[in-house]
Each structure stands twice: as structure tokens, then as C-alpha cells.
Structure 1
């Protein structure tokens, strides 16, 4: 069985998920995109990076001084491999990750159950669209804050030369268990790409 997911979070037995397997289909998260989150959101307690890949995001999260737990469905040599977030026994005060695109809705539903304080997902801004998500996620459990990137994120296959800019808008979607108001739309100030592009 191919260990990938359907849109609703169930396993997809035959079709490979884009940007999830080893080799040319694996796209690590640029360090500056994670720095933007931790510079603007405070996380108290342990952090679980539940789709850690090669540890690109986990290494930045460690700069918060918090204990970082790393796992991934695919074993890429970093953290705990072969760990299925959607069916995991683990819980943590905070969960931060860039989920597989085809499993984003499943990650939201699972993260809301397993995060005690905050849950943050790096998603396409277009995730805000869709009648199904409006019914299944945003009506009952809307994010507390949506941090929109002023600069475009470009995801490159691991090991390739990074150049050019992406064409897709991304945002950090943050669910905060202590928030008392509705969804707040915020923007990251430009400059994170230049400030942190050299690494964590």
C-alpha cells in the first residue's frame, strides 16, 4: 500500500501524493517561513512537528527553547519515522507543521484534538475557500489567526539550487485554544526571506 492520503485524511492506496515521498517529490519548508511564525506567535510548552520531513522546520522550532518532538509518516532519517499523525496516540501542548497538501483537512481535524494550547498549519491561502471546508471546519472550529505572507514562498526539491519566486500565496493558520474572539486576519511584514534565507 502506498502510504499517502485522500483529501479527507484516509489512506490513498494507489496514487502517490505530491511532495510527500523521498527524492524529487519532497519539498522542505524554507527556514524563513518558520521564523516568521515563531517571531509573531508565542508557544508555551512542547512543540510537535508532525510532518517533519528532513527536519527543516524542526531545527528552526528548536530556537524557541521549547522541547521539539519530530515525526513523519515517511522515514526520511529525521525524528520518528513511520508515525501516522492522523492515527497517533500522541498529544502535545503545541503542534506546528506544513502538512501534505492532500491531507490538510485531516490534519486540521486531528490537530484540533491533539493540541492542548496552539495548533499551526502552513497552508495555501486558498484553503480559506471551499463549501466543504466552510461546513466541516470553519463553521465549528475557525482558526484564531491567519498570518498571510507578504512574500511568496517557493518550495524546492531537497538538494536543488534555490532561485526564483513562487506563484502561490501561503499563510500560517493558527488555532489558539485560549483565544476568545473570531478569526483575526494578519500580515507578516516583508523582509523575512532576506533575513533568514541563509538557514536556521
Structure 2
């Protein structure tokens, strides 16, 4: 997802390459500041349901997570040309085994981010994590107010550096700020805010 050139030409299937440094920064801050032990022993099975990747670029989250020692990182994508293990898979139409994945982490298309989050929360066990990279302004809008009153948001990790989603133009950043939103199924405490 990218907000640059909104209303003009967008990438097919809303595919944008998530920069690895952005994920690295999040993982470092999350491991240091969160209430959760984010490691392979606590969360052994991870899913990225919109994993991306293409002929030119590797999948972002699976690549970085595997580098950090997570060995079971499943990858799905709706695109047939993705590098995901399961391609042509519409996440919102799946009915996989509940409680199999401990963490679902992704950069979903903005227009279905709420549906992605709700579906992911149905899939993880109690205490499981759902982590979504979204524009910071996802917090706004009257339409999404009920969502924020009901979903178990545990933390928001705001990236102080704006990312770019075009690897061919690494110095071109997006037009808005981004954050990793961390949801925890069954979480009842107030959410925490961190700036990376």
C-alpha cells in the first residue's frame, strides 16, 4: 500500500514492496518495548497472507522474519506471480484451521485492511498477534471508529521515517506516515504507543 499518487495510477493488486529496513526497525522496537516475548518459542507459526514478492524482489516479511530465526513462516498471496508458497489465494475467502498460526503479520491493501484484521483475529488463538502495517491515518475516520472501540489493539509503533515502496526509487518516500498496528486476541489493557 502506498498513498503517493493517490487517485492516479496504482499498482496492480495494490502491490507495493515493503522495505526490509522498515520491518527491521519495527522488529527491533517491538522486541525491546513490547509486553510480549516475540520469539520463535512463544510464536512459532507465522503467516503473511499478502506476502508479495515478484520476479525482481523477494517477499518482505517472510524474508526478514526468517533472517531473525523464525522457521515456520507461511506465505500466501492473491497474485499468481507472487513468490508466496500459496499463490492465487484470496485471504478474505479462506477458511483455514483456526488457531494454527500464532502471528499474522502483513502489509494489506488499505481498502480491505479492517477486513484483513478481523479475519486474522478469527484465525489466531487467544493471545495470538495480528500485526498490520498501515498509514497512521488509519486511526481516523468516523467509519472506522466502531472498529477501534472493538478490536483488541495492544500497541501502535509509529515510524518517524517515511518509507518508500518503490525499490527502483529508494530515495522517494511516501506522502504520509506509517505505523505497525499490533492486535492481541483477548487483550483488554489500554494500547501502548511507541515512536520508532
Q: TM-score, normalised by structure 2?
A: 0.77
Per the alignment, residue 36 of structure 1 pairs with: 25
Question: SS at 2:131's partner residue?
Answer: strand
Q: How many residues align?
A: 166
Q: Give 1:89's match in structure 2, choosing from 92, 95, 103.
A: 95
Secondary structure of the structure 2 residue equivalent to 1:126: helix
CA contact (8 A) 1:142 1:182 kept: no
Distance 1:46 1:64 in 2: 14
Aligned counterparts of 2:129 and 2:12: Cα–Cα separation in 1: 24
Q: Which position in structure 2 is the counterpart of 1:8?
A: none
CA contact (8 A) 2:51 2:82 kept: no
Report the alpha carbon displacement of residue 178 of structure 1 after superposing the two structures with TM.
6.2
**Residue in 2 that maps onto 1:19:** 11
Judge conservation of contact 1:19–1:100 (CA < 8 Å) in 2.
no
Out of 121, 143, 160, the position equivalent to 1:150 is: 160
CA RMSD of aligned residues (A): 1.9
Residue in structure 1 matched with residue 5 of structure 2 by the alignment: none
What stretches of structure 1 of length at least 5 have no aligned partner? 1-16, 189-200
Does residue 63 in structure 1 map to residue 67 in structure 2? Answer: yes
CA distance, structure 2, for counterparts of residue 150 and residue 69 of structure 1: 29
1:162 has 2:151 as partner = no
Compute the displacement of 1:112 (Å): 1.3
TM-score by length of 1: 0.76
Instruction: Report what 2:46 is aligned to.
Output: 47
Aligned mates of 1:18, 1:61 — CA distance in 2:
27
CA shift in 2, pair 1:130/1:161, >3 Å = closer
